[in-house]
Amino acid sequence: MAISGVSRLRGGLGIAALCYVGIDYLRRISPSWHATLQPKLWFVLALAAICRAPFYPHWSTELRSVLPFLGSLLFMLVTLALEATSVHFVTALLGLDWHRTALPLPDTGQWLFLALNEKLPTVLVQVLRAPLIGLHHYLMLFLMLAFSVLFDCVKAPGLGLGARYMFTMAVGRLLRVLTFLSTILPSARPWCASARFEIPNHPHPWLQKYYVPYASDPNMIRQLLREDMSNAPIGDYPAEVIPEWGRMKFLVNILRPSSAALSGDGTSWFSTLKRTGGGCNDLIYSGHMLVAVLTAMAWTEAYPGWTSAGIWFLVLHSTQREIRERHHYSVDCIVAIYVGILLWRTINLFWSAKDQSKTLRLEQLAQIEGRLVQAAKDADLDKVREMLYELNNPVQGQNPTKQALWGFAAIVIIFSLGIGLLAFTLTADG
């Protein structure tokens, strides 16, 4: 009976994931049904987690994963802040005039999908164009996977899985920042910067000396190669706007606000940063695809089967949509896929929590082996269950009280649901 119940719960995770993606897509084809069904689905999922929490037997194991989880969360938030600043920087550096005139790079992936539009059946083309899944869906799918630990669908601890996901995400974001800061590429959507940024038309003073004189004159490049010094004359450009940002004044050279931006309601550095909502260069590699691949890798490892295969199908669908809609070049998506896979595999090799848990269990098993064998000979099943429970729920130091575990469980559930709601709200627009 217990085994069949667990099997039904494991199968239910895939159905719940499918229902979530399907119901959220109703906003495109039937907004009224979406408005009715989505709150009910969220209520059912949250209620199931809350009702199951008191009977979850591994809270002591989760407690040991709190510090890695909080550390990974802090690391990810810091890298996201660094990424947001860097994204603004690479767009503001060249000025709006460059973004208006820079031609998109030739992309064979874009040409391929345009050709397929002419060859494939209309219905299939419409499926490829359909926005089946977005960034917030992948984040919610991972949260569902982590919460499913309450129902024994994946192995405990759920906080450990979340810590590894956030740590890998943070490392991936850092590598992404280093990549797109190294070489600035023009956007596949030339109008993007003018529509989303309020920055000067002219380039940064640094580029006025080191880039502009050599951007279009081959003879100047030859001279630069001979002398290895920048001796070209600098053109006449307007002065940079320097707002009063106090201690954050160092961000002026990074964010480069224009006088028009400062005349509006958002005069602080934070208002200037968040107004953009993303970058308008080609940011190699794709951050959206990194999230998608890490989510698919987590599902493949923790919950293999038809659901994981379906998520990989959605990853491929997202890839062709990113290219088709010119959010990214093909190279950005391809690099994001193999970087995400390699990062997940590589960090798993160095993720110490898993190996420490195995080592601790082996040590504890060696300590209780004699008592376990004796209890089995005496047919003392209660003693055997007690020792196996202690083996599966090791806690270093003093055992927490039942009241402490209940308080910890309540904090984890409320905090996790809050993060899920916040992530859904902030990323619902892509």
Per DSSP, the residues of 48-113 read: HHHHHGGG-TTHHHHHTTHHHHHHHHHHHHHHHHHHHHHHHHHHHTT-HHHHHHPPPPP-HHHHHH
Average pLDDT in the 398-419 region? Answer: 67
Q: Residue 425 has what pLDDT?
A: 63
> Measuring CA to CA, which residue among 271, 19, 10, 20 is closest to residue 136?
20
Under the banding of pLDDT at 50, 70 and 90, the label for residue 414 is: confident
Under the banding of pLDDT at 50, 70 and 90, the label for residue 250 is: confident
Under the banding of pLDDT at 50, 70 and 90, the label for residue 28 is: confident
Q: Residue 408 has what pLDDT?
A: 67
Lowest mean pLDDT among 129-143, 256-270, 313-327, 365-379: 256-270
Distance between CA atoms of 281 and 92, rounded to whole angstroms? 10
Longest dimension (CA), the chain: 94
Distance between CA atoms of 71 and 164, rounded to whole angstroms? 10
Instruction: Please say if the pLDDT value at position 4 is more than 60.
Output: no
> Measuring CA to CA, which residue among 6, 45, 21 is closest to residue 310?
21
Average pLDDT in the 81-86 region? Answer: 90
Residue 429: burial class (beta carbons within 10 Å; 0-12, 13-18, 19+): exposed
Name the residue with higher pLDDT: 248 or 361: 248
Under the banding of pLDDT at 50, 70 and 90, the label for residue 401 is: low
Q: Residue 3 has what pLDDT?
A: 41
Under the banding of pLDDT at 50, 70 and 90, the label for residue 154 is: confident
Q: Residue 289 has what pLDDT?
A: 95
Distance between CA atoms of 25 and 76, rounded to whole angstroms? 29
Instruction: Please say if the pLDDT value at position 405 is more than 70.
Output: no
Chain centre distance of CA 410: 26
Tell me which residue has tokens 């920087």.
89
Distance between CA atoms of 429 and 21, rounded to whole angstroms? 15
- Give the angle 14-19-25 at the CA atoms, nearest 5°: 135
Name the residue with higher pLDDT: 415 or 173: 173
Instruction: Please say if the pLDDT value at position 2 is more than 60.
Output: no
Lowest mean pLDDT among 150-159, 312-321, 333-342, 365-374: 365-374
Q: Residue 122 has what pLDDT?
A: 94
> Measuring CA to CA, which residue among 423, 327, 400 is closest to residue 131?
327
> Rounded to two decimals, what is the model's pTM?
0.84
Q: Residue 266 has what pLDDT?
A: 47
Q: Residue 272 has what pLDDT?
A: 74
Distance between CA atoms of 282 and 333, rounded to whole angstroms? 11
Mean of the per-residue pLDDT values for the chain? 83
Bridge partner residues of 185 (DSSP): 282
Number of Cβ within 10 Å of residue 404's Cβ equals 13
Q: Residue 114 has what pLDDT?
A: 95
Helix axes 108-119, 122-129, angle to 10 degrees: 140
Under the banding of pLDDT at 50, 70 and 90, the label for residue 155 is: confident
Number of Cβ within 10 Å of residue 203's Cβ equals 23
Contact yes or no for 173/83 (Cβ under 8 A): yes
Q: Residue 353 has what pLDDT?
A: 47
Instruction: Please say if the pLDDT value at position 395 is more than 60.
Output: no
Phi, psi torsion values for 344, nearest 5 degrees: -60, -45
Distance between CA atoms of 277 and 193, rounded to whole angstroms? 11
DSSP 264: S
Distance between CA atoms of 140 and 137, rounded to whole angstroms? 5
Q: Residue 396 has what pLDDT?
A: 47
Identify the three-state secondary structure at position 378: coil
Which of 185-189, 251-255, 383-387, 399-403 is the most confident on average?
Answer: 185-189
pLDDT in tens, 52-76: 888 888 887 888 888 889 899 999 9
Say what percent of the chain tops pLDDT 90: 32
pLDDT in tens, 343-354: 999 998 887 545
pLDDT in tens, 116-153: 999 999 999 999 999 999 888 999 999 999 988 988 88
DSSP 188: S
In this structure, what token pair is assigned to residue 343?
A: 């990062």
CA atoms within 13 Å, Cβ hemisphere of 63: 22
Distance between CA atoms of 1 and 214, rounded to whole angstroms? 75
Average pLDDT in the 294-300 region? Answer: 96
Tell me which residue has tokens 């848990």.
357
